[in-house]
Structure 1
């Protein structure tokens, strides 16, 4: 029997952002499907709106984009929308170069948290213009900086831990009782490595994103609630016992063989997630919306798909699902602010989001939308949303996050010590 998920319970969550999510598409199209210049540009006429994003991950995402275009067209039937898809792995570099050269788009898609907050100075605030949406949507803190709002959240995002029940059973583990402590998780990983041909966790770290999934995915079981909240508020100390412990756990899990071969040369999106879908890894820290989420994994694993909360590592911790706001469009062209606001409104159109939630498996920001599904992991994820906590990595500055990515790759290979990594991160935090 299907159960109906109601997202109203998450309306009061303190939500921030996601990094590293989204598919890449090298092609570009306007509203009629014709090719456009990859450089975008905001010098077009007032009846044109140039928008950058990183493309549609699948047919459901493409249908959502079409619905957004249709909602915008109802408000502005004479405006031509030109959507330019840029590759995600180069997206922010290309966007920064275009903005500096004065050829940036009118609007651009941003991950919430670090990615949009660190670029707030280049964006047009829309605090008053979308104030009427505040009570309807969850996830606003992801797109707020310095008292101003720069976008509206489209989806809720987070880092659930998924597992393959069939592989658990093959390893002699209880598939209905996933590990609840770090020691139990370590024992489970050893059993999986000993008794199956799968890796314990699927990992793609070519872009260096693995350690941010690790930090945010396991963080609530490592840091006390006071440490966690201080971290989110910017009061973090990389030399503290538990911050150093995160880096040590990351290095140790690699040394213990938890991950697939060649993790540092494997793309996270979507090669590592394909390993999990194919049954080549027993667990993965995935997403709850966008891509690599419960609906996509269910297509491959069906009833074998399980969801588990972060394990408890230290005493005095409070386990919480890491979840925040997701993605949203920011306005770069002051001269087209009104059109930009209406595009942002179209992206959170109730009917567009509702259709995408059903077809694409998204957990939307619109708290009035229900999600009707019989996928157990989706129900379990939503049940944990009221007690969720923001993603730890999104509180980091952009340079600090880039350094964490590089050090994460080096730690995975044993090319840097935990002490050296701690010292570098502490210096970057300043």
Structure 2
């Protein structure tokens, strides 16, 4: 759904961490893919940079990494652009050719953009990287066509939706922040207690645009439901009226109208809810497990703030909705620009996961920024769990996130059930759902069943159009 946030595997089934690929061979220097086409030719590329809300420290950290890249590749000039993927603007930017050479997309959008011929073929350049054959195959598949040609690669944190909470508000309400809720009933009870004791909303949910549908889907997934099913013959069916979707909506409705503990705002997207949480307007919300980075870089949160992270509550065969980001290259890029773009993707996103020198350099610049940027935020690994652990060892001296207050998530991050996003018309399904979330927040008499029936029809029409 969001780029630093949003988007699960498009392939069916649960992500199996046991299938994560092995580490790369050390014999080839990092950051030097063979078969490149830039040579000594000067080339300038534009790349997706930071969120528009990023602070000066984050901007300096990016600038330092750009300078180091240009020292390594003197013939390449990198121009960064503020970047935040939004469903409402991306299509226009793509069609208008206004995206940077390197841009970010949700995992689930890769297949559609490839089928539409809207991404550059970067197969040979990616495979020439030292670890080009070592990606988790299930993740990489989201950026490949049916023939296995690579058009985009997993590039940013692969996250699971988790529960974020304000430890200070828990303490003020007489709750134990070291024992966060593990069931939705416990979340509801904690939310009411916090509101009654502090006057602050105990819980909030995204409701604006596709973000609202994304988090409603996450709630349904945690309860064992899905918003789309595969029929086995290439056909897909919308299930926006799944009982688990209705159950989560009724739960939100109870918080809003019975307990008065839900933040009464229907205008919260990903950025807005982060700001509300950082500003102390709400005690709990769900989002990608990696959102702490954005809270630090864009909202002034730090290790002393009182942040807590725990796993999303699950029931029965429910699980955590999983997502992340693909890095892609604009289709009209020249060969030299594509080569430079893959070098940048390697440098900015991936080599720091594979190479100790790069990992330490990246961690040091983040930790030594003023103010410091987050280092060590828990994410699911793009490569292997073993390499993830190795990476944490490399950067141990620079880790500055409150890992001890994130144990409710890290204790289960490699064992929890992970649920992929819908495979077809994902954003359309979210867009069909968010008005239902808004209705529940705004109208005590909202008819959940009728609203979901209409949303399901809209969702099915979008699936049919995309099939």
The TM tier, using the shorter chain, reads 0.7 to 0.9
Change (3 A) 1:379 1:48: same
Is 1:377 the counterpart of 2:405? The answer is yes
Q: d(CA) in 1 for partners of 2:90 and 2:222?
A: 36
Gaps of 5+ in 2: 1-15, 22-40, 368-372, 462-467
Whether the 8 Å CA contact 1:278–1:300 is kept in 2: the answer is: no
Whether the 8 Å CA contact 2:229–2:237 is kept in 1: the answer is: yes
The DSSP-based 3-state class of the residue aligned with 1:308 is strand
182, 187, 190: which one aligns with 2:189: 187
Where does residue 118 of structure 1 map in the other structure? 112
The DSSP-based 3-state class of the residue aligned with 1:118 is helix
Whether the 8 Å CA contact 1:232–1:392 is kept in 2: the answer is: no
Change (3 A) 1:390 1:265: same
Whether the 8 Å CA contact 1:205–1:265 is kept in 2: the answer is: yes
Report the alpha carbon displacement of residue 199 of structure 1 after superposing the two structures with TM.
0.4
Q: What's the Cα RMSD here?
A: 3.9
Whether the 8 Å CA contact 2:241–2:452 is kept in 1: the answer is: yes
Report the alpha carbon displacement of residue 420 of structure 1 after superposing the two structures with TM.
2.8
- CA shift digits 1:102-142 (9 cap, x unpaired): x4446242232234443233002323432353565555355
Change (3 A) 1:301 1:191: farther
Q: d(CA) in 2 for partners of 1:341 and 1:254?
A: 47
- CA shift digits 1:83-117 (9 cap, x unpaired): 3335x37x55555334434x444624223223444
For 1:292-311, what aligned pairs fall within 5 Å after superposition? 299-300=301-302, 302=304, 304-311=306-313
Give the TM-score normalised by structure 1.
0.72
Where does residue 259 of structure 1 map in the other structure? 262
Change (3 A) 1:425 1:58: same
Is 1:426 the counterpart of 2:421? The answer is no
How many residues get paired?
A: 381
For 1:110-259, what aligned pairs fall within 5 Å after superposition? 110-120=104-114, 121-131=117-127, 132=129, 133-134=131-132, 139-144=139-144, 146=146, 147-152=148-153, 153-203=155-205, 205-207=207-209, 209-216=211-218, 218-223=219-224, 237-256=239-258, 257-259=260-262
Report the alpha carbon displacement of residue 380 of structure 1 after superposing the two structures with TM.
4.5
Q: d(CA) in 1 for partners of 2:296 and 2:328?
A: 25
Gaps of 5+ in 1: 1-8, 15-44
